[in-house]
């Protein structure tokens, strides 16, 4: 036979998953939240997001091309995703130079020195965000007032910051509840906050899309949110005057953005469901601890970064359920 045949070991077929497809799917899942941010914050949202995405891609391109001199990696969409997620964690009023700086830290400090996609220990977008939060605390925590929902009392403050401030002044929750945005406003995004975190519903729509496309599994988001609900619920039941309800914790701040899109980052999360349980519970506990007892009003970013650091250990010691080790049912 004159025809040349390919000889390779099995399997001879391959699934549809590709790194670029998975990354692109996460970007698609974030589009509803992006749309809400544009509606609420207007052109600012477009500028911040655009600048962040372009900077991240550009930094990765420059580093890969001129420092590492490796093959082009920006076509795997991971830098786009990092840029998008970083922008979603920023206020719409952040100065441009600070955004670019955040992108630089995300890509040139948190990602590429470790070897690029797949090898970084910490979530690059969150490293970028926390860097900015610590370096520029004022700019990072001042938000443009959202006209529809905010009353004068809390213009420009996120609901979490507002609650924290009020409790510190010795006010009871019953006094400040009327000034907080309603749950329906929080569901649709009419409240202050980072660009991508404000619309709970849009984030949940994206979550359903990711589950349908089998990009992520339900484990990490459910473990994180479940732990936060349980922990804040216990506190709330113990003292309703000082601990706000679990529902508020879930809707406010970066809970959904963090639990669905940041904690599930492939590279920096555990490799099996048992590990994911430890990781998710850890994030939930630390987030509520920081929110309720810590100095910062929001603790999601810190919680995820802290748990990122435990992932190599979790992977080393927590093994999947092996076949044939379960006690035989007779």
Partner 1 sequence: MSKTFKIGGIHPSDSKLSRGAAIEVFGLPQTVTIPVAQHIGAPAVTCVAKGDQVKTGQVIATAAGFVSSNIHSSVSGVVTSVDDVPDAGGMRRKAVTIQVEGDQWAEGIDRSDKLMSSVTLSAKEIVEKITAAGIVGMGGATFPTHVKLSIPPGKKAECLIINGVECEPYLTSDHRVMLERSEELLVGVQILCKALGVEKAYIGIEKNKPDAIAHLKGLVSKYPGVEVVPLKVQYPQGGEKQLIDAVVGRQVPSGALPIEVGAVVQNVGTALAVYEAVQKNKPLIERVVTVTGKSVKTPANYLVRIGTPIEALIERSGGVPDDCEKIVNGGPMMGRALSNPTAPVTKGTSGILLMRTKEARRPAATTCISCAKCVAVCPMGLEPYLIYKLACKTMLAEAEEHRATDCIECGSCSYACPAALPLLDRIRLAKAGVMKIARERAIKQK
Contacts with partner 1, residue ranges (CB under 8 A): 1, 3-15, 17-19, 21-22, 76, 78, 116-119, 217, 266-273, 319-326, 328-330
Nearer to partner 1, 112 or 146 (CB): 112
User: Cα 149 from chain centroid?
Assistant: 24
The residue (of 43 and 326) whose beta carbon lies closer to partner 1 is 326
Which residue in the block uniquely carries the two structure tokens 């477009």? Answer: 46
Burial of residue 202 (CB within 10 Å: 0-12, 13-18, 19+) is: buried
- What is the smallest separation between the CB atom of 76 and partner 1, expressed in angstroms? 7
What's 141-190 look like in SS3?
Answer: CCCCCCCCCCCHHHCCCCHHHHHHHHHHCCCCHHHHHHHCCCHHHHHHCC
| Minimum distance, C-beta of residue 9 to partner 1, in the bound complex (Å) | 5
Closest distance to partner 1 from the beta carbon of 28 (Å)? 16
Compare residues 21 and 242 and give the one whose CB is closer to partner 1: 21
Which residues, other chains included, contact 61 with Cβ-Cβ below 8 Å and sequence gap of 6+? 72, 74, 79
Judged by beta carbon, residue 14 or residue 69, the one nearer partner 1 is 14
Min dist CB 17 to partner 1, Å, is 4
**For the chain, where are the alpha helices, taking DSSP H only?**
19-41, 43-62, 78-88, 96-104, 124-135, 137-140, 159-168, 173-176, 183-188, 200-212, 219-238, 246-251, 255-256, 273-293, 300-317
Question: For partner 1, which is the closer residue by CB, 253 or 275?
Answer: 275
Complex with partner 1: residue 10 or 147, whichever CB lies closer: 10
Cβ at position 224, least distance to partner 1 in Å: 16
Closest approach of Cβ 172 to partner 1, in Å?
45
């Amino acid at each position: 036979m004159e025809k040349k045949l390919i000889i390779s070991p099995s399997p001879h077929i391959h699934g549809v998953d590709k790194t670029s497809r998975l990354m692109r799917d996460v970007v698609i899942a974030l589009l509803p939240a992006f749309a809400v941010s544009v509606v609420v914050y207007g052109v600012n949202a477009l500028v911040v997001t655009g600048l962040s995405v372009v900077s991240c891609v550009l930094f990765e391109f420059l580093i890969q091309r001129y420092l590492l001199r490796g093959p082009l990696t920006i076509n795997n969409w991971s830098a786009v995703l990092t840029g998008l997620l970083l922008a979603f964690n920023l206020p719409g009023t952040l100065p441009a130079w600070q955004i670019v700086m955040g992108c630089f830290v995300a890509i040139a400090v948190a990602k590429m020195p470790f070897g690029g996609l797949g090898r970084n220990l910490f979530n690059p977008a969150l490293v970028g965000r926390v860097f900015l939060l610590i370096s520029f605390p004022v700019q990072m925590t001042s938000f443009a007032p959202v006209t529809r929902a905010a009353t004068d009392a809390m213009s420009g403050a996120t609901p979490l910051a507002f609650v924290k401030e009020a409790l510190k002044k010795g006010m009871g929750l019953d006094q400040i509840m009327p000034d907080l945005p309603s749950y329906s406003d929080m569901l649709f995004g009419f409240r202050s906050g980072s660009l991508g975190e404000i619309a709970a519903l849009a984030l949940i729509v994206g979550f359903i899309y990711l589950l349908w496309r089998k990009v992520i599994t339900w484990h990490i988001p459910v473990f994180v949110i479940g732990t936060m609900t349980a922990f804040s619920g216990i506190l709330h039941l113990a003292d309703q005057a000082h601990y706000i309800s679990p529902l508020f914790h879930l809707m406010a701040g970066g809970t959904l953005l963090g639990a669905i899109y940041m904690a599930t980052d492939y590279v920096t999360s555990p490799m099996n469901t048992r590990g994911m349980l430890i990781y998710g519970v850890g994030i939930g506990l630390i987030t509520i601890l920081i929110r309720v007892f810590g100095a910062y009003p929001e603790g999601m970013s810190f919680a995820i970064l802290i748990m990122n650091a435990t992932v190599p250990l979790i992977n080393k010691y927590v093994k999947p359920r092996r076949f044939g080790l379960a006690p035989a049912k007779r």
